[in-house]
């Protein structure tokens, strides 16, 4: 997984902002009271002390408030990018292509957490016949990741995406050009096409589109999952993914 420093800095900033918002609300109420709206006036210092004491005595409200704010922000980001997120590169999918819930996976073949998450997604596909999985190469761990991403898109073009994708995660070793092209050969892909794909402008544009989309969504590492109105980061495990799929299905049925 990529560094989470930015993620935690953003959470701390949001927590501080939420605390200020709570104080601002209270101060605004005090100002309204002072303006003669039917309640005793309270000065700024008293209101600040009340808010500070409440937050110190109930610190649990900060993560709860931050989580709610994150959910609201995620919904806005996903609504603005929904079409791009859920329109796959042709062939880079798994599960039911007409499924009622779409699970979008942003991954890097060099990411060990993605390898772990791959098994969870595979299990979901086996157990949920109505799930569609959309794979988005998000190569953030170096040039070998980018080469593997381009080869995977070539595999999609050749109708051999599942074989390539599974082999990359289920066979030992980190990506490098020799290993990637060895898998290309092993699953029966056209080796000349796959080699040419490493310099294909159209495929590079697709990878760049995924990277830009990830940045727009504020993704901080791999794997990242988009399920309905939720963004999950990291190897969150099978149970949490399953819960998110069930929640997305419930929301669609409302």
What pLDDT is recorded for position 152?
Answer: 98
Q: How far is CA 48 from the centre of its chain?
A: 37
Residues of the chain with pLDDT under 70: 1-42, 58, 60-75, 254
Q: What number of other Cβ atoms are within 10 A of residue 160's Cβ?
A: 20
Query: Can you tell me which residue has the tokens 């993914």?
Result: 241
pLDDT in tens, 95-113: 999 999 999 999 999 999 9
DSSP alpha helices (H): ranges in the chain?
5-34, 44-57, 61-86, 112-127, 143-157, 161-170, 177-186, 191-197, 201-216, 238-253
What pLDDT is recorded for position 50?
Answer: 78
Entry pTM: 0.73
- Look at residue 234 and give its three-state secondary structure: coil
What pLDDT is recorded for position 5?
Answer: 43
Q: Residue 223: CB partners within 8 Å, gap ≥ 6?
A: 1, 105, 106, 107, 111, 113, 114, 117, 233, 234, 235
What pLDDT is recorded for position 70?
Answer: 54
pLDDT in tens, 159-182: 999 999 999 999 999 999 999 999
- Look at residue 189 and give its three-state secondary structure: coil
What pLDDT is recorded for position 76?
Answer: 73
What pLDDT is recorded for position 33?
Answer: 41
Name which of 131, 57, 127 is nearest 94 in CA terms.
131
d(CA 193, CA 190): 5
Q: Is the peptide bond before 223 cis (omega within 30 degrees of 0)?
A: yes
CA-to-CA dists, residue 31 to 26, 48, 50, 53, angstroms: 9, 12, 15, 20
């Amino acid at each position: 997984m990529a560094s989470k420093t930015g993620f935690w800095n953003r959470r701390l900033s949001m927590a501080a902002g939420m605390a200020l918002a709570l104080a601002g609300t209270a101060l605004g109420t005090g100002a309204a009271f002072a303006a003669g709206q039917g309640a005793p006036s309270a000065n700024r210092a008293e209101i600040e002390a009340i808010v500070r004491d409440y937050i110190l005595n109930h610190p649990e409200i900060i993560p709860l408030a931050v989580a709610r704010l994150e959910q609201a922000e995620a919904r806005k980001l996903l609504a603005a990018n929904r079409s791009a997120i859920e329109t796959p590169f042709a062939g880079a999918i798994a599960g039911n292509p007409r499924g009622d819930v779409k699970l979008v996976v942003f991954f890097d073949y060099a990411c060990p957490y993605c390898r772990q998450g791959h098994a969870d997604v595979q299990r979901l596909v086996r157990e949920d016949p109505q799930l569609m999985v959309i794979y988005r190469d998000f190569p953030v761990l170096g040039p070998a990741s980018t080469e593997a991403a381009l080869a995977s898109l070539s595999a999609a073009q050749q109708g051999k995406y599942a074989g390539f994708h599974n082999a990359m995660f289920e066979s030992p070793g980190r990506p490098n050009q020799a290993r990637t092209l060895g898998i290309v050969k092993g699953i029966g892909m056209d080796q000349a096409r796959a080699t040419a794909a490493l310099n294909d402008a159209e495929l590079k544009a697709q990878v760049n589109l995924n990277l830009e989309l990830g940045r727009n969504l504020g993704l901080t590492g791999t794997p990242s999952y988009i399920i309905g109105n939720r963004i999950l980061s990291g190897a969150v495990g099978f149970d949490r993914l399953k819960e998110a799929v069930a929640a997305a299905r419930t929301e669609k049925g409302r």
